[in-house]
Amino acid sequence: SSNKTTREDKLLKICELLEEHVDYYNWVGFYFKNGDKNELKLGPYVGEPTDHTIIPFGKGICGQVAVSNKNFVVPNVAAQDNYIACSITVKAEIVIPIFKNGENIGQIDIDSNTPDPFTKADEEFLEFVCEKVSTIL
Ligand code: SME
């Protein structure tokens, strides 16, 4: 099997583990910068399929993290004007950037059906996950 397949398998496994072990993680996926384009491309994920497989930089929560290089915790998605809805069941979202050699190369995106579920501990845990993910990319 190719390295690409192995990498995708590992990323999918991480999504599965996160979704399975944290009750309020209901959609878990990766977006990565799409080559030289100013857009994100959906990678491995678990949860409802989404139409948003390509997201322009700046658009939605994910697109904003692509340009800010900062964590984005959204306690209430209904209060966001620059937000891309994937499912009407989603109440909250957290996006953590992934850095490789100091460059923002993608992100982990988690949607929750629970209002305001994410704490500083989620941010710190997911930053740790993203650092580990970076080492296999
Ligand atoms: N809600 C995201 C879009 C991706 S879906 O959550 C899978 C956003 O506003 O960027």
Give the containing element (helix H, strand E) for 33: strand 27-33
Cβ neighbours of residue 38 closer than 8 Å, sequence gap 6 or more: 56, 57
User: What are the tens digits of pLDDT across the range 33-55?
Assistant: 999 999 999 999 999 999 999 99
User: DSSP letters along 45-82, please?
Assistant: EESS--S-SEEETTSHHHHHHHHH-S-EEES-GGG-SS
- How close is the Cα of 25 to the center of ligand 1, in Å? 14
Q: Is the CB of 106 under 6 A from ligand 1?
A: no
Q: Which domains does the chain have, with CATH numbers?
A: 3-135 (3.30.450.40)
Instruction: Give this complex's ipTM.
Output: 0.96
Q: Is the CB of 92 under 6 A from ligand 1?
A: no
Give the containing element (helix H, strand E) for 93: strand 92-100
How many Cα atoms occupy the beta-carbon half-sphere of 111 within 13 Å?
Answer: 24
User: Closest ligand 1 atom to the C-alpha of 45?
Assistant: 7
User: What are the tens digits of pLDDT across the range 68-116?
Assistant: 999 999 999 999 999 999 899 999 999 999 999 999 999 999 999 999 9
pLDDT of residue 6: 87
**What's the CA dihedral at 106, 108, 113, 119 to 10 degrees?**
-120
| Among protein residues, the one whose CA lies closest to atom 3 of ligand 1 | 84
Q: Is the CB of 93 under 6 A from ligand 1?
A: yes
